[in-house]
Amino acid sequence: MNIQGISPVAGVLGRRGLQALLVAALVGTLSFFLMRMLPGDAAYRIAAGRYGYDLVSAAAAEAVRVELGLDQPWYLALVGWWAQLAEFDLGTSLVTGHAIADDIAHQLGHTLLLAFCAMALSLLIGPALGILAGLRPGGAIDRITLLGATVLRAFPPFVLGILLILGLSVHLGYLPAAGHGEATSVVLPALTLALGLAAGSCRIARDAFSQVVNSPYYAFGRTKGLSDRQVLLRHGLRNAAVPIVAYLGMQMVFIIEGVVILETLFAWPGIGHALIHAIFWRDVPMIQGCVLVFALLFVTLNTLVDLACLALDPRRRH
């Protein structure tokens, strides 16, 4: 559906760029109204966050109100809000008083680490099993993986996480249950996420591969005298890779949503954890920052997937 004369790469970048801009506007506006419509007294919330609820008093809240300018009229605030966002200024947390950009930069590292480990693990598990299943459609491996994938996908990620903690950490003691700061802390949340991802990519790989195996060029490759292994590597993998990579784009939703829930469960100090925490404290600038970074991350990753598909599949370039 490319407009004539625009290169496919530029088309992808343009469309995704516009998407990023729009989502930023959407999140910014929602956050502004969120800020204005906060039920109760924001100054009190913030003061409790700072001083602990045993120490919160009206005086402390009043100090916060003046300090943060929560008493200014809404139209001034709206203008300020937009101007800040346009300058990529995410503001400061209402609770800690830190610059949100700094906090998020720190948390982003953790989130990316978790997402990357999950993705890598899922690619180790999913497509490998899928290819095995696709080589003999209807065989034992195919049936077992279908059953496994179906059940896994019906399992909410947080329940899977709890079961993995109970099994691998509490009863077997292989891994730390939660937290961070140890090299192995990332394994449990990543594994939880990866299993859900693999359940999907396994079936996609299986379907793609069984299609390739039954294709004329694959059969031709064999009559040409190539060994099973050569045929698999030369014709099978590359052709099966396109749908798997395209499917990664769709898995981004699962990753981002999974990160939000699982970081909370595993006390993993990423953006998802920060987001739930900020919602709890109604720390609107922090909520805005987290959602914005997630949305932009999502668009960026999808752009990469689009570009990877273009690179893998020459047909899409025309």
Partner 1 sequence: MRGRHNPSRRRFTTQLALGGLAAGLGLPRPVIAHPNGDHAHDPLPATNQIPGVLSIVGPWELTGLDPSRAGFMFSRMEIAETLFDAADDGSPLPGLAARWTQSADGREWLLQLRPQARFHDGSPVSAADVVHALNLARTKPGILGLVPIERIDAHQDQVRIRLKHAFTALPAALAHSSTQILAPASYDPDGVVRGVIGSGPFRLTHLQPPQRFEVERFAGWDGPPPAIERATYLAVGRGETRALMAESGQADLVFGLDPASLQRLQGHPTLQVESVVIPRTIYLKLNAGHRWLTDPRARQAISLALQRSGIAHAVLRERSLAASQLFPPTLDDWHVPALPPLHHDLAQARQLLRELGWHTDAQGMLFRSDGAQTEVFSLNLRTFPDRPELPIVATAVQEQLRQLGIRVTVSLGNSSDIPAGHRDGSLELALGARNFAVAPDPLLTLMQDFGPSGGDWGAMGWHDPALDATLDALQRTRDASARQHLRTQAAQILHQALPVIPVAWYRHSAALHPRVNSAGLDPLERSYRLSRMQWSR
Partner 2 sequence: MNPASESSLPAALSIQPKPVRAYFGSRSVGAALLVLVAAFALFGPTLSGSDPVAQDLENFLAAPDAANPLGTDHLGRSMLARLAHAAQLSLWLALLSVASALIPGAALGILAAWRGGWVERVSVVIADSVLALPGLLLVLLLATFAPGAFWPLYLGLSLSFWVEYFRVVRARSHILLASPQIESARLLGFGPLYIVRRHLWPELAPMLGTLMSFSAATAVLAMAALGFVGVGIRPPTPELGVMMIELLPYYQEAPWLIAAPIGLLTLTVLGLALVGRDRSSMQ
Task: Tell me whether residue 61 or residue 259 sits nearer to partner 2 (CB atom).
Answer: 259
Task: Return d(Cα 131, Cα 236) in angstroms, integer.
Answer: 9
Task: Return d(Cα 218, Cα 190) in angstroms, integer.
Answer: 36
Task: Tell me whether residue 243 or residue 269 sits nearer to partner 1 (CB atom).
Answer: 269
Task: Tell me whether residue 53 or residue 75 sits nearer to partner 1 (CB atom).
Answer: 53
Number of Cβ within 10 Å of residue 253's Cβ equals 11
Q: Give the x-and-dash track for 8-37 against partner 2 (CB under 8 A).
A: -------x--xxx-xx-xxx--xx--x--x
- Does position 147 interact with partner 2 (CB under 8 A)? The reply is yes
- Does position 204 interact with partner 2 (CB under 8 A)? The reply is yes
DSSP for 13-71, written as a single string: HHHHHHHHHHHHHHHHHHHHHHHHT-SS-HHHHHHHHHH-TTT--HHHHHHHHHHHTTT
Of 119, 121, 164, 260, which lies in the binding site for partner 2, with binding defined by CB under 8 A? Answer: 260
Q: Which does 5 bind (CB under 5 to 8 A by kind): partner 1, partner 2, none?
A: none
The set of residues, in sequence order, having a beta carbon less than 8 Å from that of 224 and lying 6+ positions away, is none
Residues recorded for the chain: 318
- Does position 280 interact with partner 2 (CB under 8 A)? The reply is yes
In degrees, rounded to 5, the angle at the alpha carbon of residue 306 between the alpha carbons of residues 305 and 307 is 90
Number of residues near partner 2 (by CB under 8 A) = 66
Number of Cβ within 10 Å of residue 316's Cβ equals 15
| 8 A C-beta contact, residue 274 and residue 107 | yes
Which residues lie near partner 1 (CB under 8 A)?
40-41, 44-61, 63, 95-98, 162, 165-184, 187, 191, 264-267, 269, 273, 277, 280-282
DSSP 168: I
From 49-57, 106-114, 227-235, 261-269, span contacting partner 2 (CB under 8 A): 261-269
Backbone dihedral region of 22: left (phi > 0), alpha (psi from -120 to 50 degrees) or beta?
Answer: alpha
Task: Tell me whether residue 27 or residue 231 sits nearer to partner 2 (CB atom).
Answer: 27
Of 234, 257, 312, 316, which lies in the binding site for partner 2, with binding defined by CB under 8 A? Answer: 257
Task: Tell me whether residue 55 or residue 116 sits nearer to partner 2 (CB atom).
Answer: 116
From 70-78, 112-120, 228-236, 289-297, span contacting partner 2 (CB under 8 A): 289-297
Least distance CB 157 / partner 2 (angstroms): 8
Task: Return d(Cα 209, Cα 176) in angstroms, integer.
Answer: 37
Nearest to 284 by CA among 32, 108, 4: 32
Binding site for partner 2 (CB under 8 A): 15, 18-20, 22-23, 25-27, 30-31, 34, 37, 39, 137-138, 143, 146-147, 150-159, 162, 166, 196, 199-200, 204, 207-208, 210-211, 243, 246-247, 250-254, 256-258, 260-261, 264-265, 275-276, 279-280, 282, 284, 287, 291, 294-295, 298-299
